[in-house]
Amino acid sequence: NAGVMQNPRHLVRRRGQEARLRCSPMKGHSHVYWYRQLPEEGLKFMVYLQKENIIDESGMPKERFSAEFPKEGPSILRIQQVVRGDSAAYFCASSPSQGAFGNTIYFGEGSWLTVV
Amino acid sequence: GQNIDQPTEMTATEGAIVQINCTYQTSGFNGLFWYQQHAGEAPTFLSYNVLDGLEEKGRFSSFLSRSKGYSYLLLKELQMKDSASYLCAVPYQAGTALIFGKGTTLSVSS
């Protein structure tokens, strides 16, 4: 049973370009979470999605960042006009139902974004 | 809102026992999670406590006191491979996503 799949694993973008990070949840999981981890810092919650719905985006920066989880296909975290401060590891996680009520949340291997 | 505190770093030697503490403040409690994260890798689930007391799972045990807002992760018979960051997490106030502490970096030496 494949785990949470993220791609690309490593992405380099120039300032001002767009970054798209993809996440396929574990089989049977319909809930997806995105986290950002800056060097020497903890995991910061960004957004929680179900299929076609954003449930909680309280951790998302107001500008340049967006996320979706379409009916078909992976969840996508999109960062427009990237800046150096966006350089970080972006982790996706999934759970079978509403997370954090005794449901374990499983993480993908992460996507490392470097903005040059 | 949530607030989670853990020590930043700890060191120990192979074969020893180490206790990693976590204090938390949360509006509405729905359990506490511990994850392990090796450098450059994904966090992996270790334990989940929702009731007070000690949960033992092999070399790792996790303890919870809801009245004190306190948990600890106990690692026994330490091995070099236990060198990692240990993350304490509680559900977000809406009971959905997990909010993580900054993690405790454990270094195990021979």
CB-based contact B31 A102, cutoff 8 Å? yes
Q: A20-48: buried (b, 16+ CB within 10 Å) or exposed (e) per residue? A: ebbbbbbeebebbbbbbbeeeebbbbbbb
- Interface residue B46 vs chain A (CB under 8 A): no
Q: pLDDT tens across A12-54, in order?
A: 999 999 999 999 999 988 899 999 998 777 899 999 999 889 9
CB-based contact A100 B44, cutoff 8 Å? no
Whole-number pLDDT of residue A74 = 96
Which structure tokens are listed for A94? 């999934």
Pairs of CB atoms within 8 A across A/B: 70
Whole-number pLDDT of residue A41 = 79
> Across-strand partners of B33?
B48, B89
pLDDT band at B86 (very low <50, low <70, confident <90, very high): very high
Whole-number pLDDT of residue A102 = 57
Q: Report the alpha-carbon angle B9-B13-B14, nearest 5.
A: 125
Whole-number pLDDT of residue B89 = 93
Whole-number pLDDT of residue A104 = 78
pLDDT band at B43 (very low <50, low <70, confident <90, very high): very high
Determine what percent of chain B is predicted with pLDDT higher than 70.
Answer: 96
Distance from CA of A104 to the nearest CA of B (A): 7
Whole-number pLDDT of residue A39 = 77
Over range B11-31, report the average pLDDT. 92
Whole-number pLDDT of residue A101 = 55
Q: pLDDT tens across A49-86, in order?
A: 998 899 999 999 999 999 999 999 999 999 999 999 99
Strand locations in chain B (E): 3-5, 9-13, 18-25, 32-37, 44-49, 53-57, 60-65, 70-75, 84-91, 98-100, 104-109
